[in-house]
Amino acid sequence: MRDFAREAVALAAGRSRPDLDADRMLELSLTHLLEIIGEAASRVPENERDTYPRIPWRRLVGLRNRLIHGYDQINLDIVWRIVSDDLPALINELGSIVSGDV
């Protein structure tokens, strides 16, 4: 999850929200990376999720489902906000788990 979140943040670095409208490859890449993050979250066993309550597991899985099943109604403002505002915090939380600092 952390690697894909990092990749999404790196792809968005130096770009702005209008770039998402103008660059179809960027849109598809960020959307797909969010799908992967949500899919990975769905594979974490419930007892493991309970161990790390600061990770928004249900929201991540819900986002994945929304992107996969509502592909024709994706709100790019929300995608951009998640990538620019939410993923950096998620990366930090996941980093704490990986390093054992939780």
69 is catalytic: yes
- Rounded to whole angstroms, what are the CA distances from 99 to 11, 64, 93, 94? 24, 26, 10, 9
- Rounded to whole angstroms, what are the CA distances from 77 to 16, 64, 73, 84? 11, 16, 12, 10
Give ∠ CA 32-35-36 in degrees, rounded to 5.
Answer: 90
Pick the catalytic residue from 6, 15, 69, 81.
69
**Residues marked as catalytic:** 64, 69
